[in-house]
Structure 1
Amino acid sequence: MTLKTNYLLLYNLISLLSWTYLTARVLTADDVTSHSNELLTNVTVLQTAAAIEVVHAVLGLVRSSPATTALQVGGRNLVIWTVMRRFPDLVFSSATGRLGFVGCLLAWGASDILRYAFFVAQLGAGGGSAMGLLRWLRLVDALSST
């Protein structure tokens, strides 16, 4: 494996494990409000660090469009930094706010777990039956997002 492949494999594996952990924390939280600081901090760190994906695209390390990647990462960061972090009382003081917060984290988690699992399988295993299942799940996820 090349240095580029090893780096991307490590990046995607860390991202997969991080999103899996965060999604599991959301699903197992008895009360989202009592874990709000932890969850908000985790999603902020994860999503802010995802800005490196724009650099990956600009440098040509991945086939993604820099503009599309910037739009996705920037959109999520906009929600996190201008709404969730700026107005945490509004997010966590009402059922609607908590539902929106949990909805964002679960939607992002489901999407990113599939995406990073696909990239890890693609970079690490180079194909196989897991790739077919992950490719199909990514297609279903993409179609449901449109």
Structure 2
Amino acid sequence: MSSQISADNIKLSYLILYNVVSCAGWFYVLVLILSELVQNGDFATVYDRVGWILMIVQTGALLELVHVIFGFVRSPLITTAFQVASRLFLVWGVVDIFPEVQPHWAFTTMTIAWSITECVRYSYYAFNLAGFHVYSLLWCRYTFFFILYPLGAGSESILVYQSLPYSKQLSEIYYWLQVVILFVYVPGFYTLYTHMIGQRKRYLGKGKDKAQKAD
């Protein structure tokens, strides 16, 4: 019994640490972007400032697949894999491979949307795991998406579209893969957006106290 309790405590401590570190990483990305815009006021230089840390922070999300596989969290494996893979595709399969799209303003808006979303999400998880139910974070998690999801998805699709001429020079197969991905964006975004609207009604529609208990 004691060994089981110890193992559970270790797992809980690890998950809290993971979420705190992830939140800190995304907050750092956001600070770098805003400081670059304030200092230079130029979207074209943002990637040079944040590209390296963005790759590290986003690639670290692969651990979330490990968490699901080993039962650390109850998230669906397919959904988690799709979310992580789509982000990695943008970071490694579009922006890194095709430096021509790096100066585009869509990279900045995409990364800002991701950063705010993840800061809220990871801090929300960290507080919940620690036993603190912060209603303001719950509200932010299920409200900010109204703006952040369209901003992020729209910016992602623009970057994929902008990379198509360079993709075609690289590989015909990769070019058509990106074309297919662009067409998937619309139904994929609709599914995720309506799901979040349903989640918002579930958690926020029942009032502050009930929402905290349900979480």
Please give the range of the TM-score, normalised by the shorter of the 2 chains: 0.7 to 0.9
1:47 deviates by: 0.8
The number of residue pairs the alignment matches comes to: 138
8 Å CA contact 2:121–2:141 kept in 1: the answer is yes
User: Bigger relative contact order, structure 1 or 2, given CA contacts below 8 A and separation 6+?
Assistant: 1
CA distance in structure 1 between the partners assigned to 2:25 and 2:107 by the alignment: 18
CA distance in structure 2 between the partners assigned to 1:141 and 1:66 by the alignment: 25
- Aligned CA RMSD, in angstroms, stands at 1.7
The aligned residue for residue 113 of structure 1 is 119
The aligned residue for residue 162 of structure 2 is none
Q: 2:17 aligns with which of 10, 13, 22?
A: 10
8 Å CA contact 1:26–1:32 kept in 2: the answer is no
State the Cα deviation string for residues 98-144 of structure 1 (Å, max 9, x = none): x11101110100110000110111122x124xx21111111113455
8 Å CA contact 1:26–1:106 kept in 2: the answer is yes
The aligned residue for residue 31 of structure 2 is 24
Question: Does residue 134 of the first structure (1) align with residue 141 of the second (2)?
Answer: no
Report the secondary structure of 1:2's partner residue.
helix
Report runs of 4+ in structure 1 exceeding 2 Å deviation: 30-38, 141-145
Which entry has the higher C-alpha Rg, 1 or 2? 2
Unaligned 5+ runs, structure 1:
none
1:1-146 aligned within 5 A: 2-29=9-36, 30=40, 31-92=42-103, 97=104, 99-124=105-130, 126-128=131-133, 131-144=134-147, 145=149, 146=193
1:63 deviates by: 1.8
Report the secondary structure of 2:66's partner residue.
helix
